[in-house]
């Protein structure tokens, strides 16, 4: 019943899966008192009141929208994808893009200098920047310290 392969799902079974997934959302997410549905239906001006100062400032200054093309692509991808599936990832170099309610549910590929890190936008990510979710450095794993790393080891003769 629940172990059905994706390719063999009939329309009816797919609908049931979707219903199940919706029913399974036990934790109601609220962003400062607003649910996800309310957020997605808000205009940008209303969202301004909810977010914190940095985000608000950025939205006010950037509402001339350098990233319009990106948002449009996101919308398109969402519209194209069938219900219950995730939209195809949209790649971007825009690490400084704010995550707004409109983007919830989309998949982004955020460039970290070398690769596009896959980020699925969740409602908890509102107000953060896309770059925050795509780490741009490899965390340091210290190896053996080399010559010259400490003051005492600097004059080891090179044989």
Partner 1 sequence: RRRRSAAAPPRVCLVPQVFLGGLTAPKPAATMAENALVQTDDFQHMLRVLNTNIDGRRTVVYALTSIKGIGRRFADLICKKAEVEVTKRAGELDDEEVERLIAIIANPRHFEIPSWFLNRQKDYKTGKDKQVYAQNVASSLRDDLQRLKQIRSHKGIRHYWGVRVRGQHTKTTGRRRTAVGMA
> Of 76, 78, 81, 122, nearest to 99 (Cα)?
122
Site for partner 1 in 86-145 (CB under 8 A): 122, 124-125, 128, 131-133, 135, 139
**Which x/- pattern over 24-63 shows residues binding partner 1 (rule: CB under 8 A)?**
------xxxxx---------------x-x-----------
Shortest Å distance, C-beta 82 to partner 1: 26
Shortest Å distance, C-beta 39 to partner 1: 12
Residues in contact with 78: Cβ distance below 8 Å, sequence separation at least 6, in sequence order: 87, 105, 106
For 125, list phi and psi in degrees, rounded to 5.
-90, 0
Q: The dihedral of CA 30, 33, 37, 39: what is its sign? A: negative
Contact positions vs partner 1 (CB under 8 A): 30-34, 50, 52, 122, 124-125, 128, 131-133, 135, 139
């Amino acid at each position: 019943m629940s172990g059905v392969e994706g390719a063999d799902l009939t329309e009816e079974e797919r609908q049931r899966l979707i219903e199940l997934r919706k029913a399974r959302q036990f934790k109601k997410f609220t962003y400062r008192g607003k649910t996800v549905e309310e957020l997605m239906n808000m205009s940008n001006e209303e969202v301004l009141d909810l977010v914190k100062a940095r985000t608000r400032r950025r939205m006010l200054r950037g509402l001339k929208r350098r990233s319009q093309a990106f948002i449009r692509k996101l919308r398109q991808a969402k519209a194209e994808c069938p219900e219950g599936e995730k939209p195809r990832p949209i790649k971007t170099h825009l690490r400084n893009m704010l995550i707004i309610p409109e983007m919830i549910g989309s998949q982004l590929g955020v460039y970290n200098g070398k690769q596009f890190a896959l980020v699925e936008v969740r409602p908890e990510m509102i107000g953060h920047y896309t770059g925050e979710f795509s780490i741009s450095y490899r965390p340091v794993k210290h190896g053996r310290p080399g010559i010259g790393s400490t003051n005492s080891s600097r004059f080891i003769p090179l044989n």
